[in-house]
Amino acid sequence: MAWIKRNLFFVIGGILAIGLLGAAGFYNYKGWSHNRAALNELNEIYSTLRELTSKKPSPGNDKINNIETAKQQENQVREWIRQAGDYFKPITPVPNPSNGIVSSEEYAASLRRMINQLQQEADSVGVALPPQYNFSFKAQRDLVRFSGSLEPLAQQLGEVKTISEILFAARVNALDGIQRVRVSDDDTAGPQADYLDDHSVTNNLAVLTPYQITFRSFSTEIGVVLAGFASSPHGFIVKGINVQPAGAAGTMPPNPTGPVLAPGVPLAPGRGGMQVMLNEQLLRVTLVVEVVKLLPKK
């Protein structure tokens, strides 16, 4: 006790120093804990940011908002699809019952009536047809009962009607034939000349159904036919065209890819007239046309 009394100020200073050291240690511990928590939070934020920026597409940064840009572009694409839909109106099936289910009786009656109608339309505008032509439906022409679903056949009948009427409107000289893809077991009994060895293709937007058309005309009518497909409110894509003189021997290739035009033949000059440098001749044309049918909106 005597030592404490003699060194009272030293003892008090030591106690104060120990207290201050403890306070400093506690403060350092609190600061270390806070810094550790802050570091963990920073690492978590950095990890989230790295994950976001690695995504395709990246959400962007404070200057570029890729998510908002993507939404705007999506709206633009949807608007384009809406506008494009005006040029891809569906072709009405024949027949087209309100419940969407085609019966054998309805189809048989509609098929005969449509074939007769198309024959009369061709005759009225001077388009020659093969004898008793059935517009690629010879296998079904005389049936009263059909195999499988009739909806695909009804759709094809509507499409063949639309294609034929484009040719009639152009007043081609003759329609030699229309070929379609097989969609029914009954098609196996039909003549090969009525069919394409092909099939419809479905992608993310539409179903594409091919047809091959062979007709005879002069060059002016060919242009009118192509313009008719281009201006149609329905979705037609001309995939191939082959043009040869109508009197050329042999058959058309199954998948024409480009035009083959015969040059004009100079004729002897007439009396007192100018020499004729081009004698346009009748041409035999084969077109491959796809009908584009947009899929229903999801």
| 3-class DSSP assignment, residue 266 | coil
Whether the ω angle into residue 254 lies within 30 degrees of 0, i.e. cis, is no
pLDDT tens digits along 131-181: 999 999 999 999 999 998 999 999 999 999 999 999 999 999 999 999 999
Q: Is 193 left (phi over 0), alpha (psi -120 to 50) or beta?
A: alpha
What percent of the chain has a predicted confidence (pLDDT) above 70? 64
Q: Could you confirm whether domain 90-261+280-294 is CATH 1.20.58.710? A: no
Comparing 250 with 153, which gets the higher pLDDT? 153
pLDDT tens digits along 207-226: 999 999 999 999 999 999 99
Does residue 239 surpass a pLDDT of 90?
yes
For residue 291, give every residue at least 6 positions away whose Cβ sits within 8 Å of its Cβ, in sequence order, or none.
91, 159, 208, 209, 210, 211, 234, 235, 236
pLDDT tens digits along 70-92: 777 777 767 766 666 677 899 99
Amino acid identity, residue 65?
Answer: N
Q: What is the pLDDT of residue 265?
A: 42
Domain boundaries, the chain: 90-261+280-294
Pure H helices in the chain = 2-6, 8-53, 66-84, 104-124, 138-141, 151-170, 219-231
Does residue 190 surpass a pLDDT of 80?
yes
Pure H helices in 54-65 = none
Does residue 44 surpass a pLDDT of 90?
no
CB 95 within 8 A of CB 110: yes
Tell me the pTM. 0.67
